[in-house]
Amino acid sequence: MYTDTIAAIATPQGDGGLAIIRLSGPDAGSVATRIFLRGRRLRQTTVGELESHRLYYGAIVDPDSVAVVDEVMLVQMLPPATYTRELVVEISCHGGPLPVRAVLALCLRHGARLAEPGEFTLRAFLNGRIDLSQAEAVAGIVGARTTRSLDLAVGELRGRLSERLRPARDTLVETLAYLDAAADFPDDEIPAIELGPSLVTARDALAAVVAAAQTGVLYREGVHIAIVGKPNAGKSSLLNALLGSDRAIVTDVAGTTRDVITESVNLNGLPATLLDTAGIADSADVIERIGIQRSRDALSSSGIALFVVDRSRPTSSEDALVAELLAVRLSEGGVLVALNKCDLPDAGDHTALLRLLPGVPVVAISTVDGAGLDELRTALFTLAIGQADASGEPALVTIRQLDALRRALAHVEAAEAALAVAIPLDLIAVDVRGALHAVGEITGERIDEAVLDEIFRRFCIGK
């Protein structure tokens, strides 16, 4: 239980109709009492006596100067029915930067301290209102970039990930209890369990969560798609068509794009970042060569390469140069060819070019009349999700959570391998315990301060 009271702005800073200053802690009511006067007549009020979870109109007044800072609405929320399970007071004031800062400054001057990033959610976790996976889901909701990402994050906030892990966790707890008892009391009759089937159950349950989590990371982090090709193949036109707006300059002059243009797009519910790159070619122009190098860098750092080929022109050496660059990454997947300008007559056979990229999906498109764009979006989505190799409902996890899941699975697989060669049970218990510890890093059952700091420092102040 905390003894101090924290305060912070809980809404985005900047001009707006309303803003909320949130206080949490044992002195939240007394801090608010010092600066809040109730009603139009500004009557002195003890906030602690106000009805819980009910809004009251009044004003924030500086006790020293008796100056009215702003008209506000105030609500007191008594524990445990609060976000942090502590006493919480929220003050709704006008959303301009000056009144917001003035109200917060009065809260800090009269007994509260400024909250650290994520400290409200940290208190909710430490006070038992949510588990660690739910706490991290809060950041997923705030940062959701598509409706599908938001749906998944809300599911995790309601404890979906912990429920998915429960079968593996319960099996591992039962298995470890048996292994520890057998090691500590070798002369006693310990009820035996079938270790092999138990480890298989835990492994299968974890493997299913890992598979779903790999897709979930895509929904949280998104996928980067580099649009590459020779100059004037229609890359910028394709970017504009996918965005539905004229973001990039399009001309008939080859090499119009000199730098990488980055834009976000909703790809069938999957957040994606499109990178329109300069045409890749041999050039003596110093500025153009810098742009081409940036295109190569964007290509190497992207999950998917979208190769735009001008179907209305014969295959050129520049097309072949790009195809050879992409062929190097075929083993990693993530390459798709868009035969652009299919509204114009086909200028020739591109079979030889496509032969350099065997097995790569090909979609014919037109950025002029929109032909094939829906098929292209579906192909990009399928390619992105296919790399995750997941089945069923995605689990919206963080990179940290996915790493913990993989370590848990690796420990169980190591325990299975040890059991197969008759390794002593106390050594098998080491891996089972390691798997449980990794699961605990996700649910918060066993967590150290360093991991907590890593998780909550990424939150914004006021959350």
Q: What is the 3-state secondary structure (H, E, C) of the chain?
A: CCCCCEEEECCCCCCCCEEEEEEECCCHHHHHHHHEEECCCCEECCHHHCCCCCEEEEEEECCCCCCEEEEEEEEEECCCCCCCCCCEEEEEEECCHHHHHHHHHHHHHCCCEECCCCHHHHHHHHCCCCCHHHHHHHHHHHCCCCHHHHHHHHHHHCCHHHHHHHHHHHHHHHHHHHHHHHHHCCCCCCCCCCHHHHHHHHHHHHHHHHHHHHHHHHHHHCEEEEEECCCCCCHHHHHHHHHCCCCCCCCCCCCCCCCCEEEEEEECCEEEEEEECCCCCCCCCHHHHHHHHHHHHHHHHCCEEEEEEECCCCCCHHHHHHHHHHHCCHHHCCEEEEEECCCCCCCCCCHHHHHCCCCCCEEECCCCCCCCHHHHHHHHHHHHHHHHCCCCCCCCCCHHHHHHHHHHHHHHHHHHHHHHCCCCHHHHHHHHHHHHHHHHHHHCCCCCHHHHHHHHCCCCCCC
pLDDT tens for the chain, 463 residues long, are 689 999 999 998 888 899 999 999 999 999 999 999 999 999 999 999 999 999 999 999 999 999 999 999 999 999 999 999 999 999 999 999 999 999 999 999 999 999 999 999 999 999 999 988 888 888 888 888 889 888 988 988 888 999 999 999 999 988 888 888 777 666 555 666 789 999 999 999 999 999 899 888 888 888 889 888 888 888 888 988 888 866 544 444 444 444 567 888 888 888 998 888 765 555 545 445 555 566 666 677 678 889 999 988 888 888 888 888 888 887 776 899 999 999 888 877 788 888 899 989 999 999 889 999 999 999 999 988 875 554 568 888 888 999 999 999 999 999 999 999 989 888 999 999 999 999 998 988 765 555 556 556 655 666 6
Same domain, 412 and 321: no
Q: Is residue 463 part of a domain?
A: no
Q: Is residue 71 part of a domain?
A: yes
Q: Is residue 132 part of a domain?
A: no
Q: Which domain holds residue 407?
A: 138-217+398-448
Same domain, 11 and 156: no
Same domain, 201 and 334: no
CATH code: domain of residue 194: 1.20.120.430
Same domain, 245 and 230: yes
Last residue of a domain, one of 338, 368, 388: 388
Q: Is residue 402 part of a domain?
A: yes
Q: Is residue 125 part of a domain?
A: no
Same domain, 246 and 298: yes
Same domain, 239 and 382: yes
Number of domains in the chain: 3
CATH code: domain of residue 317: 3.40.50.300
Q: Is residue 29 part of a domain?
A: yes
Q: Is residue 12 part of a domain?
A: yes
Same domain, 150 and 14: no
